[in-house]
Amino acid sequence: MELFQNIPLWTALFAIFFAQFVKIPIHFLVSKKVDFALFTSTGGMPSSHSAAVTALTTAVAFEEGLDSTMFGISAIFAVIVMFDATGVRFHAGQQAIIINQLRADLHNFLEHTKDWQKKKDEEKIEELKTLLGHKPIEVFMGALTGVAISVILYTLLL
């Protein structure tokens, strides 16, 4: 099947898997805690989004050449994804931090009222996720990870 011979696709998928996996030992080195939930979480070092799009773009460059339309499409796609990872998604995470603080402040106020004491736990809102996006260094390291994975795979396979 041609799908299984699509090296740019498999390189990008491997880059996602690798970037997600490597978050666990990096987190352990920093915090001395093992957190396997990082494998399926968003945010963190390195950015799997950046790793995927740069691995894909590098693989397309190997397959099609730097002067190809596919490389141009892939490169612009990579820039948009990495810009979004550091811009929109990062700021959404920052807003979630502030919203969570507002919720905590409101909670502290309401816990002194009678009605709050009567509410069930199910009625309380779950905290918003704050790790939506990436810091620029995380995107940069994800991009380097993707390029390195693609170069290594093409060097070993071709």
CA torsion, ordered 134, 137, 142, 144, to nearest 10 deg: 160
| pLDDT tens per residue across span 52-110 | 999 999 999 999 999 999 999 999 999 999 888 877 767 777 787 888 777 877 776 66
Taking residues 142-155, what's their average pLDDT?
86
In the chain, % of residues over pLDDT 70: 81
Which residues lie below 8 Å from residue 78, measured CB to CB, with a gap of 6+? 50, 53, 54, 56, 57, 143
Q: Residue type at 93?
A: G
What local confidence, expressed as pLDDT, does residue 125 receive? 46
Residue 127: pLDDT band (50, 70, 90) is very low
What local confidence, expressed as pLDDT, does residue 71 receive? 96
Where in the chain are the domains?
1-87+135-158, 88-132
Neighbours of 126 (CB within 10 A): 5
